[in-house]
Amino acid sequence: MTRHLFLEPEHELLRDQVRRFVAERVHPEADRWEDEGAVPREILHDMGDLGFLGIRYPEEYGGSAMDTRATAVLAEELGRSTYSGFAITVLVHTDMASVHLFNAGSAEQRAVWMPDIIAGRKIVAVAVTEPDAGSDVKGIRTSARREGDSYVLNGSKMFITNGVHADLYCVAAKTDSGGPASQSVTIFLVEKGTPGFAVSRALDKHGWRSSDTAELSFAECRVPAANVLGEEGRGFYSIMKNFQNERIVLGAMAMGEAQAALDLTLDYVKTRQAFGEPLWSKQAIRQRLAMLSARVAAARQFVYATAARDAAGEDVVREVSMLKALCGELVNEVMYDCVQFHGGMGYMRESTIERMARDARVQSIGGGATEVMLEEVAKRI
The 10s digit of each residue's pLDDT in 127-151 is 999 988 766 787 899 999 999 999 9
Crossing angle of helices 84-91 and 235-271, in 10° steps, is 160
Task: Identify the sign of the CA torsion 126, 131, 133, 134.
Answer: positive
- pLDDT on residue 177: 64
Residue 53: pLDDT over 60: yes
Residue 1: pLDDT over 60: no
CATH code, residues 9-122 = 1.10.540.10
Q: For 125-233, which CATH class?
A: mainly beta
Rounded average pLDDT over 211-236: 95
pTM: 0.95
d(CA 218, CA 7): 44
**What are the angstrom distances between the C-alpha of 276 and each of 273, 280, 283, 293, 344?**
6, 12, 15, 26, 18
Give the rounded percent of residues in the chain with a pLDDT score beyond 90. Answer: 90
- pLDDT on residue 298: 97
d(CA 322, CA 199): 35
The secondary structure element, H or E, covering residue 170 is strand 168-174
Q: CATH 2.40.110.10: which residues of the chain?
A: 125-233
Residues 277-319 pLDDT 10s: 999 999 999 999 999 999 999 999 999 999 999 999 999 999 9
- pLDDT on residue 323: 98
SS3 198: strand
Residues 161-195 pLDDT 10s: 999 999 999 999 999 766 787 789 999 999 999 99
CB-CB neighbours of 254 under 10 Å: 31
- pLDDT on residue 243: 87
* Residues taking part in catalysis: 246
Q: Thinking of the domain 237-378, which architecture would CATH place it in?
A: Up-down Bundle (1.20)
CB 7 within 8 A of CB 69: yes
Residue 259: pLDDT over 70: yes
Instruction: Share the mean pLDDT of the chain.
Output: 95
Q: CATH 1.10.540.10: which residues of the chain?
A: 9-122
Rounded average pLDDT over 252-273: 97
